[in-house]
Structure 1
Amino acid sequence: MTDQQPHRIVIVGGGAGGLELATALGDRFGRADKARITLVDRSRTHIWKPLLHSIAAGSLRRSQHELNYMAQAHWHHFHYRLGEMTGLDRAAKTITLAPVQDDEGREISPESQIGYDTLVIAVGSVTNDFGTPGAKDYAVPLETPEQASRFNRRLVNACLRAQHQHTPVAPGQLHVAIIGAGATGTELAAELHHTAREIIAYGLDKIDPEHDLKIVLIEATPRILPALPERISAATLALLQELGVEVRTGARVAEVLADGVRLADGEMIPSELVVWSAGVKAPDFLHEIAGLETSRINQLVVKQTLQTTRDDAIFALGDCAACARPGFDQNIPPRAQAAHQQAEFMVAQLSRVLEGQPLQDFVYKDFGSLVSLGKFSTVGNLMGFVVGRSFMIEGYFARFMYRSLYKMHEAALHGHGRTLLGLFSSSACPAPTVKLH
């Protein structure tokens, strides 16, 4: 009698959906050795992507919200592999990982292959600059915690530079241009209005925040938050204008330069810092990988079961998956709530795979959209499944609902008890209210 090897489930991508799925599968199947769960990610730590704008603004400390993959794997009975997926062999059922090097260029691990019985790809999305000249050279995307931290350092350094120079602050020297007025760009604009002024308040008395500091939000479509209901867009615009954020709609960016942004009509918007948040796409390596069907923005096209259309052993979820939404013209949107719902669904779906049962179709529920404007306000709409229509919310209730989205993610990773305890814990040590280094 031979021992049967446990079913190998490999999850590529440790974002919201991938890490939640690995944690749940590890607790359910890894602990009992019913399946071998492996999570692959090119980073060592996880942070919830909707928090990146707060890290960039300096209003949130990255270290307080990072989760180490190796520790999470140990606690929840799955395996973690550091590496970046670069290839797929469907016939051999293996994925290829690129060599991993440390900061000094020394090799940590060589190129390697990992075998799977079931593969789940959850690599999320990256910034889509649409080939705009200068965007890659001069604009900072907000895809990773490292990029968010880099932007924050550049913001603090720009303020210090202005403080210590012998000449007055030049026009545009402390201007920030944010390209793309979706949720990330809009939330960043509001947060920066507050945090940049707090940085200046820490003794940078040569800078006049009302005269020298300027935040410009640039959107190519006729209104900000174009993917959300118009009433949310209008309410958010009013709040941004009240803060003093300059909002430019119907403005298409033609080029990003070292000292600003040039619009299609030739107008130049001077700026020291440029953030690109105007669009997303799946990573380029997914484009028609191993003959799988992909969309024009590299997403893996999946069936309602979340299986890829050309290989039933490969699933995809989150931003990298193009999943039709029956009854709607557009696919399921690339939002954190979609990844969370798909991760929950995949736990039950993979249970059926292990038991040889028929698979079910994923049904997306839109619970609405919320936009956080930092300490100033939160606006959004909740889908009223009970009353049969959606309704708009703002203020403290909306802020509570926005925070609850993150708490749902934390509960999926740590359990409800630990998450509840975290609500009541606080640091007794005084610290600046913004990151100053």
Structure 2
Amino acid sequence: MWRDMTDRKTQIVVVGGGAAGLALVRKLAAKHDRATHDIILVEKNRTHVWKPLLHEVAAGSMDANSDEVGYGGHAARWGYRFFNAALERIDRDRRVIVTAPLLDEAGEVVVDRHEIRYDWLVLAMGGVSDDFGIPGVRDHAMFLESRQQADLFRRKMLNACLRANDRKPEGAEARVSVCIVGGGATGVELSAELVNAAKALRSYGLERFDEDTLQITLLEAGPKLLPALPEDVSDKVKGRLAELGVDVRTGAMVTRVGPRAVEVKDGPTIEADLILWATGVRGDHALSKITDLELSKRGQIVVEPTLRSKNDPRIFAIGDCAHCVLPGEERPVPPRAQSAGQMADHMVGQLDRAQKGQPLRDFVYRDRGALVSLSRFATHGSLMGNLIGGKMQIEGRVARLAYQSLYRLHLLAVHGPWRGTVRIAVNAINRVTRPALKLH
């Protein structure tokens, strides 16, 4: 059993240090006295990078070392405890979670298996890309769900570019082909960032690398890109990507993925050096082994409108790992950064009410619109809310400022008003002083 600070304390355990979990533990620690409450964050990684920016890490346009948050330091600053481990099992009868052994690169045990008791448990473990059971996806495609995966893609991308640059004088085939499956925000934004990176590579020592060397194919099974945005905005984005040289194909349903090929229903097979999968969101495949809580068809934890699990009144779920259908709605709350942040805010008061034995309140999701950034080339989106009287489409500089504000709001939620403002200022300085591309 991991050491309890004291038996008389109320112990709140949050599993998952993504945007929702990290913001939640900070606010809980700020709200509760350490003499009465013990707030614990359980997370398998040691640092946090905001998931909507992983495409920039993958393209090299963002240095995650400068923007990441170390959980240990963050915990010490705000007064909660951080335990570095992955969740292995939930024992609801004994009201404990069991963490898996933490291993190093050589497979040696760093931290052994532990049990951590909880009075209240919040699962904020995020989600993973849905492979829809398509053969070969898990074996041959890369994903963009973590800092490690983004770094791996960047290294492979850079090696492919160096290889092509080196072969050009020999007259050999000098192409770098990338196939991105999924026309949502991740696929669209990564496509544009890669084009931007390719344009900059000549300035970083790859003199023979030109724009035609990089070939990007973006596949979307549905009829249009960016389902969360209006059709005319989607059309503009598709047209802009085409202008940048991206081969955009909608209605392209992938049937199989091979080591260097993507097979498409009723279409030609696409050969690719790098294949990235960015379609849909589902719960982690391991959830069914971790818990006996009710799961949706996509492997997410089914919760009531209050965000409490249907099977256990002391367990809640927020963010991408939660399947929450609100009253009067047919579809669940969408797995987006804004809904995860709103759920984290709601959970602060919800846990307080639960501890006092008061009735829980239903979560209210406020759709504030959607934005997509095409690197430095363009930004498009739509905003929703009372201030604008409904939905308003924006683009250009206004859309860019709105897009940048999303990350700034995340920094304020994670670091608090004062420290968050300082981090925003430091990031502005870093954009001027650090290289445009991270090539290592």
What SS is found at the alignment partner of 2:437? coil
Query: Hey, what does 1:68 align to over in structure 2?
Result: 70
What SS is found at the alignment partner of 1:280? coil
1:200 Cα deviation after fit: 3.6
Q: Which moved more, 1:237-246 or 1:116-125?
A: 237-246
CA 1:333 to 1:62, structure 2 compared with 1: closer, same or farther past 3 Å? same
Distance 1:391 1:121 in 2: 34
Q: Which moved more, 1:33-42 or 1:231-240?
A: 231-240
Deviations 1:282-336 (A, max 9, x none): 1122227543211011111111111001111000000010111333321100000
1:33 Cα deviation after fit: 2.3
Map residues 120-135 of structure 1 onto 2, 5 A cutoff.
120-135=122-137
1:17 aligned residue (17, 20, 23): 20
Query: Hey, what does 1:307 align to over in structure 2?
Result: 308
Distance 2:95 2:304 in 1: 20
Whether 2:50 is the aligned partner of 1:48: answer yes
Query: Hey, what does 1:28 align to over in structure 2?
Result: 31
Distance 1:209 1:409 in 2: 34
Distance 1:419 1:256 in 2: 42
Distance 1:424 1:431 in 2: 14
Map residues 90-101 of structure 1 onto 2, 5 A cutoff.
90-101=92-103
Whether 2:267 is the aligned partner of 1:269: answer no
Given that 1:199 and 1:436 are in contact with CA atoms closer than 8 Å, whether structure 2 keeps it comes out as no
Query: Hey, what does 2:350 align to over in structure 1?
Result: 349
Distance 1:341 1:208 in 2: 44
1:406 Cα deviation after fit: 1.0
Distance 2:208 2:98 in 1: 54
What SS is found at the alignment partner of 2:387? coil
CA 1:49 to 1:202, structure 2 compared with 1: closer, same or farther past 3 Å? same
What SS is found at the alignment partner of 1:308? coil
Map residues 30-429 of structure 1 onto 2, 5 A cutoff.
31-165=33-167, 167-170=170-173, 173-210=175-212, 212-287=213-288, 290-425=291-426, 426-427=429-430
Given that 1:200 and 1:209 are in contact with CA atoms closer than 8 Å, whether structure 2 keeps it comes out as no
Q: Which moved more, 1:230-239 or 1:335-344?
A: 230-239
CA 1:242 to 1:40, structure 2 compared with 1: closer, same or farther past 3 Å? same
**Percent sequence identity over matched residues?**
43
CA 1:209 to 1:341, structure 2 compared with 1: closer, same or farther past 3 Å? same
Q: Which moved more, 1:386-395 or 1:149-158?
A: 386-395
Deviations 1:337-380 (A, max 9, x none): 00100101111111112333222111110000111111111111
Q: Which runs of 5+ in 1 are unaligned?
A: none
What SS is found at the alignment partner of 2:116? strand
Distance 2:215 2:7 in 1: 64
2:17 corresponds to which letter in structure 1? G
Given that 1:139 and 1:274 are in contact with CA atoms closer than 8 Å, whether structure 2 keeps it comes out as yes
Matched positions, count: 432
What SS is found at the alignment partner of 2:334? coil
Deviations 1:236-270 (A, max 9, x none): 11221221211001111122222232212251212
Q: Which moved more, 1:257-266 or 1:278-287?
A: 257-266
Deviations 1:158-205 (A, max 9, x none): 11111223633527x301110000010001011111112212432323
Distance 2:379 2:49 in 1: 22
Q: Which runs of 5+ in 2 are unaligned?
A: 1-5
Q: Which moved more, 1:138-147 or 1:126-135?
A: 126-135
1:272 Cα deviation after fit: 1.0
1:262 corresponds to which letter in structure 2? E
Given that 1:190 and 1:374 are in contact with CA atoms closer than 8 Å, whether structure 2 keeps it comes out as yes
Q: Which moved more, 1:14-23 or 1:409-418?
A: 409-418
2:44 corresponds to which letter in structure 1? R
1:328 corresponds to which letter in structure 2? E
Question: TM-score, with normalisation over the residues of structure 1?
Answer: 0.95
Distance 1:5 1:43 in 2: 30
2:15 corresponds to which letter in structure 1? V
1:7 aligned residue (2, 5, 10): 10
Given that 1:287 and 1:299 are in contact with CA atoms closer than 8 Å, whether structure 2 keeps it comes out as no
Given that 2:142 and 2:275 are in contact with CA atoms closer than 8 Å, whether structure 1 keeps it comes out as yes
Query: Hey, what does 2:3 align to over in structure 1?
Result: none
Distance 2:150 2:264 in 1: 25
1:373 corresponds to which letter in structure 2? L
1:78 Cα deviation after fit: 0.5
CA 1:121 to 1:424, structure 2 compared with 1: closer, same or farther past 3 Å? closer
Q: Which moved more, 1:426-435 or 1:412-421?
A: 426-435
Q: Which moved more, 1:134-143 or 1:117-126?
A: 134-143
Q: Which moved more, 1:107-116 or 1:161-170?
A: 161-170
Given that 1:159 and 1:200 are in contact with CA atoms closer than 8 Å, whether structure 2 keeps it comes out as no
Distance 1:246 1:353 in 2: 52
What RMSD, in angstroms, separates the aligned Cα atoms of the two structures?
1.8
1:144 Cα deviation after fit: 0.4
Distance 1:270 1:11 in 2: 43
